[in-house]
């Protein structure tokens, strides 16, 4: 499989690049972001060219995903994200999925619901205001997973962070987690040393 630039993919399809760009926006063909450029899988291009097994005939069914980091408050941010996504929607909004939790967390109830909708074929487009609303890391893998199911990820404001305060909060959370684990490891080693010095036996589980 090859990731094609828009001009090369459009040439294979025999259409103008601007037409292909609109098809990508409309969810008729999956794409991935590479820097600031859309790239198209050669497999998706060939499927679209043959007119079978492609996403061109699929209706545009959108799931809007909004997220904030806090477990309480920040209702205004959730509402603002939803309003912006609805205002720019060009298809049927099937569902608005909301999450409260750090973008560093992989196991989020809302994100799991979105992925379930992707897998069962009930949506053709996942839309977010900013890429980091979906995840802080690993967005590229999520894009590839979505493309396997013929689903497009659309980011309203590409290459921008959703909020500096939340990024700082995630960073503090990450540092706190590692510090707690490191402290726990050191405490265990100190306990083993103390028991060894006093002549007590230490089992594999750390119990004397």
9-30 confidence digits (pLDDT tens): 988 888 888 778 888 887 888 9
Could you list the residue range(s) of the whole structural domain that residue 24 is in? Answer: 1-58
Residue 160 buriedness (CB in 10 A; 0-12 / 13-18 / 19+) = exposed
Q: Which is higher by pLDDT, 53 or 103?
A: 103
132-143 confidence digits (pLDDT tens): 899 888 888 888
26-42 confidence digits (pLDDT tens): 788 899 998 889 999 99
Paired with 126 in beta bridges are 63, 153
Q: Based on the fold, state whether residues 29 and 79 are members of the same structural domain.
A: no
Q: Based on the fold, state whether residues 52 and 132 are members of the same structural domain.
A: no
Q: 73-80 — which CB contacts under 8 Å span 24+ positions? A: 74/100, 77/163
Q: Based on the fold, state whether residues 53 and 63 are members of the same structural domain.
A: no
**Structural domain contains residue 171:** no
Q: Which is higher by pLDDT, 168 or 24?
A: 24
C-alpha distances in Å from residue 112, one per residue of 99, 106, 154, 169, 196? 10, 9, 18, 23, 47
191-206 confidence digits (pLDDT tens): 677 667 766 554 555 5
Within 10 angstroms of residue 8's Cβ, the number of other Cβ atoms is 16
**Structural domain contains residue 68:** yes
Question: Distance (Å, rounded) from C-alpha 24 to C-alpha 20?
Answer: 6
CATH of the domain at 47: 1.10.1660.10
CATH of the domain at 156: 3.40.50.1390
Q: What was the pLDDT predicted at 6? A: 92
pTM beyond 0.85: no
Share above pLDDT 90 across residues of the chain, in percent, rounded to a whole number: 30
Question: Distance (Å, rounded) from C-alpha 11 to C-alpha 92?
Answer: 30
Distance of CA 10 to the CA centre of its chain: 27
Average pLDDT over residues 49-73: 73
């Amino acid at each position: 499989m090859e990731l094609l630039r828009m001009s090369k993919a459009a040439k294979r399809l025999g259409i103008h690049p601007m037409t292909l760009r609109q098809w990508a926006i409309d969810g008729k063909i999956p794409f991935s972001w590479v820097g600031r450029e859309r790239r198209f899988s050669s497999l998706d291009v060939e499927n679209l060219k043959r007119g079978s097994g492609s996403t061109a005939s699929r209706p545009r069914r959108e799931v809007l995903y909004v997220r904030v980091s806090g477990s309480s408050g920040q209702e205004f941010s959730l509402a603002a994200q939803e309003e912006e996504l609805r205002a720019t929607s060009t298809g049927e909004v099937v569902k608005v999925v909301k999450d409260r939790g750090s973008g560093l967390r992989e196991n989020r109830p809302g994100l799991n619901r979105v992925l379930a909708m992707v897998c069962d074929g009930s949506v053709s487009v996942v839309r977010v205001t900013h890429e980091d609303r979906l995840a802080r890391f690993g967005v590229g893998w999520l894009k590839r997973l979505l493309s396997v199911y013929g689903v497009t990820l659309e980011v309203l404001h590409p290459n921008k962070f959703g909020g500096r305060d939340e990024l700082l909060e995630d960073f503090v959370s990450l540092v706190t987690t590692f510090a707690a684990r490191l402290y726990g490891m050191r405490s265990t080693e100190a306990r083993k040393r103390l028991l060894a010095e006093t002549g007590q036996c230490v089992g594999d589980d750390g119990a004397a």
